[in-house]
Amino acid sequence: MFEAIKKLFGTSPKTDLGKLIAEGAQIIDVRTPAEYASGHIKGSVNIPLSTLESRLGKLKKDRPVITCCASGIRSRSAAAILRSKGFGKVYNAGSWLNLRKHE
């Protein structure tokens, strides 16, 4: 069941988020600024989902992007937006808490 949920939200069992981060992946936290201020992943950039499309210029298309939020719903939407805008390596980590073990 857990693997089905991970697949639904855009990560696969084979995705090594720690390796992607170590290799310079961009971590985009799409929660609100207040949510982000309450806790976030070191090195992440806060770009709320509502402003993502207008701030795509801040991201590099040639580097992998990992999206995260509170539960995985907004980060899944963000990942879909990024893919539709030509970002090839996009990974949805779901909740930002999933990435804490990689800090």
Contact 44, 69 (CB under 8 A): no
Asked about 68 being catalytic, the answer comes back as no
3-state SS assignment for residue 27:
strand
User: 44 to each of 3, 4, 26, 103, how far by Cα in Å?
Assistant: 25, 26, 7, 10
Of the candidates 69, 78, 79, 82, the residue annotated as catalytic is 69
| Residues labelled catalytic | 69
